[in-house]
Structure 1
Amino acid sequence: MDDAGAAKDDKTPRTARGERTRRALLSAAAQEFGEKGFHDGSISGITRRAGCALGSFYTYFDTKDDIFRALVNDMSGQVRDYVSPRIAQARDGIDAERIGLLSFLEFARDHKELYRIIDESEFVDQAAYRAHYENTASRMAARLARAAAHGDVRADVEEVHAWAIMGMNVFLGLRYGVWDDSRPAEEIAAIANALIEKGIGARRD
């Protein structure tokens, strides 16, 4: 593709107003797909929720698949951006995992559509589905490696531990974030963190 073609196909917003419109469409898509699912959700439903003209949709997205793919990436980034700054406040590597789960539970409770959208992406766009979990596990593995270097966890922690902790967090988020959010998130995070500390915490002589 030549430069002219690339410029024509580039749907990145070039103004603050354009970015606001794109953001409104993504937020509307989260509501539409969260309530109806991908197959029953529609572009007209998205634009109606966003309060913008149908033509505005095609300024930023080509198809329903296109906005769904962008939404999966966007929601994955929202989780990261919500959790990461809070983890930075942790006192050590074990506490970082407690805060990570606590923050994720908070996010899931405020964005219950997250699970339906991510789960459906396995069948709509498997690459985006896989990237969501691989990127999350990669960040967790790097965090555990730093914790090991500081002596907070065992020296032999590896990728398997990251995936195991992530799997636990995903299902705790489903059970105590989406299905029933009545139990204090701090309590759930503390119980899970005790398992992590006993499993991979550094041995103190």
Structure 2
Amino acid sequence: MREPAAPRDKVPKTARGQKTLRQLLDAAAEEFGEKGFHEASISQITQRAGVAIGSFYTYFDSKEEVFTALVRDVSGQVRDYVAPRIAGEANQLDAERVGQQAFLEFARRHKEIYRIIDEAEFVDPAIYREHYTSTARRIAARLDAAQERGEISPGSSEIRAWALMGMNVFLGLRFGVWGEDCDPAEVARVGGDLIARGMGPRDPA
């Protein structure tokens, strides 16, 4: 199991410490998701987590620090939710469709991630950029491997990765956060068709 995110010098070494940190990060997600960064407070985070305020300072020095850790944690949660669902797919086109559906499902269960990530652009621009660039690198690596296997047509994996990520982000916003009027499988079927027609192997001229 992936350890919850914390500053490198404050990573808990015990199961109890990891549990407390998990409670704080989950509470922070609720607090920041509901109120936004500026209106959120450390005291409310600890109250939501059901821990003493001193426990907060065992892991974080400030509201900014817990917010940064939360963005990294959210990125890790998305990765850990999607990765096992695409791992068993027979080819990359199917994997991208399944990954899109998995992201939509995650977004519906964790609507607060959009507010948290959007605010990161202003609270901590470096972590905001890290969130997207690290995601794009993972997608690009998958696409590079798929090109080598002949499952997709040749092309820039970096450009395609950013395009796929943009599709997932906005489909998640519309069909995960703003409304749930379309089944994630159907959204991913239409999105997957678009991906396949744009990235499918081409017959030689």
Alignment of 1:69-88 (within 5 A): 69-88=68-87
Q: What do residues 150-174 of structure 1 show as CA deviations (whole Å, max 9, x unaligned)?
A: 1111022421111111101100000
Q: Is the 8 A contact 2:141 2:157 kept in 1?
A: no
Question: Which residue of structure 1 aligns with residue 184 of structure 2?
Answer: 185
1:161-203 deviation digits (Å, cap 9, x = unpaired)? 1111110110000000100012100000010111111111102
Farther-moved stretch of structure 1 (178-187 vs 151-160): 151-160
Q: Tell me if 1:95 matches 2:82.
A: no
2:60 and 2:70 map into 1 onto residues whose CA distance is 11
Q: C-alpha displacement at 1:57, in angstroms?
A: 0.5
2:5 paired residue number: none
Q: Which residue of 2 aligns with 1:168?
A: 167
Bigger-Rg structure (1/2): 1
In the TM superposition, what whole-angstrom CA distance separates every residue of 1:113-141 from its partner, at most 9, and x where no partner exists? 01000000000011110001001111111
Question: Does 2:21 correspond to 1:26?
Answer: no
In structure 1, C-alpha distance between the alignment counterparts of 2:9 and 2:96, rounded to whole Å = 39
Q: Separation in 2 of the partners of 1:145 and 1:34?
A: 35
Q: Distance between the aligned counterparts of 2:9 and 2:164, measured in 1?
A: 38
In structure 2, what is the Cα distance between the partners aligned to 1:45 and 1:182? 33
Q: Structure 2: which amino acid aligns with 1:183? A: C
- TM-score if structure 1 supplies the norm length? 0.93
Q: CA deviation at 1:69?
A: 0.3
Give, in whole Å, the separation in 1 of the partners of 2:177 and 2:16. 33
If the length of structure 2 is used for normalisation, what is the TM-score?
Answer: 0.93
Whole-Å separation in 2 of the counterparts to 1:155 and 1:11: 44
**Aligned: 1:138 with 2:137:** yes
How much has 1:204 moved relative to structure 2? 4.5
Q: Encode CA deviations 1:67-98: one digit per residue, 9 max, x unaligned.
A: 00000000000000000111102120100110
The Cα RMSD (Å) is 1.2
- 2:33 counterpart of 1:39: no
Find runs of 4+ consecutive structure 1 residues off by over 6 angstroms.
none
Q: Does the residue aligned with 1:183 lie in a helix, a strand or coil?
A: coil
Contact 1:157 1:200 in 2 (8 A): no
Identity %: 60
Q: Look up the equivalent residue of 2:37 and give its one-letter code.
A: F
Q: How does 1:51-130 map to 2 (within 5 A)?
A: 51-130=50-129
Q: Structure 1 residues 195-204 or 81-90, which shifts more?
A: 195-204
Who is 2:16 aligned against?
A: 17
Letter matched to residue 161 of structure 1: R
How many corresponding residue pairs? Answer: 197
Using the alignment, how far apart are the partners of 1:204 and 1:177 within structure 2? 36
Amino acid at match of 1:122: E
Point out where structure 2 has 5 or more consecutive residues left out of the alignment: 1-7
AA aligned opposite 1:26 = L
Distance 2:115 2:157 in 1: 29
Amino acid of the residue matched to residue 134 of structure 1? T
Q: Is the 8 A contact 1:148 1:157 kept in 2?
A: no
